[in-house]
Amino acid sequence: MAVRGRRTGRPTLEEVAARAGVGRGTVSRVVNGSPRVSARAKEAVDRAIAELGYVPNRAARALAGSRTDAVALAVPETEARLFAEPYFLDIIRGISAELAEADMQLLLTLIRSDRERRRFAQYLGAHRVDGVLLVSVHADDPLPDMVGELGLPVVLNGRRSHDEPVAYVDCDNTGAGRQAVERLAGRGRRRIATITGPLDMYAARCRLDGYRQGVAAAGLAPDGRLVACADFTEAGGHRAMRELLERRPDLDAVFAASDVMAAGARAALREAGRRVPDDVALIGVDDSAVARHMDPPLTSVRQPIEEMGALMARVLLARIAGRPPEPPGRVLPTELVVRESA
């Protein structure tokens, strides 16, 4: 039976995979002599290669305008933020593990200026990658639309708005805020503050919305003096905590929208002579190594960061392969991990 699909005169890796009844990554591993293939799968792939006359020549495929077997991961952040924030490292770990299974190269690039954004666009325009993953995208960032205009598949980590048209993988950020406040109110805390991320990021706005929903559900009066904006950094969390203590020195709990900001808040509380959790209970988001190693260990809302990275890669690979698109957005649940800080 003939394999249907795009034909270019030269059998493709996808056609071999379809004929063999296996995934593209399995074919690539067989072609490259990887031992991580069962005997049955190897036999099926070898038979399909023989039947189709497939020639596994990477250079020939490139010259024919075929695939590059490379994916770009673009992060519009500084090196300092990338390496200080466990979130990014966990996302990269999840992405790279999934791409390694498919024998795809991962190219990491930081975009810190308009000049670097233009240079990245030129790189993509030269067809040097098959698709793009974007992490930490702000509301006004043109990168997702720019990549789409170049005709490349793209998947975001998070969203720019509720109506994000680009494929994305996110977590329940609103639920994270609600869970944190529910825990704090359930422990008898009545003056609950929050330190937000930058509000030009949809995730930060959603966590703030969840905080407000939790405050309302607990029957507490909203108070703008209990809300301080920061930037997902430790220094930002420290600065915001000091602002909160100046405005409401009687506060008895804080929901920080990231573990790293919670670490900064913890330092500011210690400087002010406030004990955690005796005087002020504290909760973060991410359930990162920062949370586990804080003193006291930090209660945190876990988001499945590595799983999000792996799912981003799978969604992108499916789009690169031309498989029928799944729903444009995937939202994964969060989970409160209780430790000594709250």
Question: What pLDDT is attached to residue 56?
Answer: 59
The candidate with the shortest Cα–Cα distance to 75, out of 111, 122, 115, is 111
pLDDT digits (tens, 9 = 90+) for 51-101: 887 765 544 444 444 678 899 999 887 777 777 788 889 999 999 999 988
The architecture in CATH of the region 173-302 reads 3-Layer(aba) Sandwich (3.40)
Decide whether 13-63 matches 173-302 in CATH topology. no
Cβ neighbourhood burial of 91 (10 Å; 0-12, 13-18, 19+): buried
pLDDT digits (tens, 9 = 90+) for 242-266: 999 999 999 999 999 999 999 999 9
The architecture in CATH of the region 70-171+305-332 reads 3-Layer(aba) Sandwich (3.40)
Identify the CATH number of the domain defined by range 13-63.
1.10.260.40
Q: Is the peptide bond before 333 cis (omega within 30 degrees of 0)?
A: no
Domain ranges of the chain: 13-63, 70-171+305-332, 173-302
Q: How many residues would you count in the chain?
A: 342
Report, as an integer, the average pLDDT of 107-132.
87
pLDDT digits (tens, 9 = 90+) for 203-252: 999 999 999 999 999 999 999 999 999 999 999 999 999 999 999 999 99
Q: How far is CA 322 from CA 5, 319, 325, in A?
A: 10, 5, 8
Runs of H (alpha helix) within the chain:
13-20, 24-31, 39-52, 58-63, 79-84, 86-101, 114-125, 143-149, 173-186, 202-217, 234-247, 259-271, 289-293, 305-320
The candidate with the shortest Cα–Cα distance to 164, out of 202, 205, 210, is 202
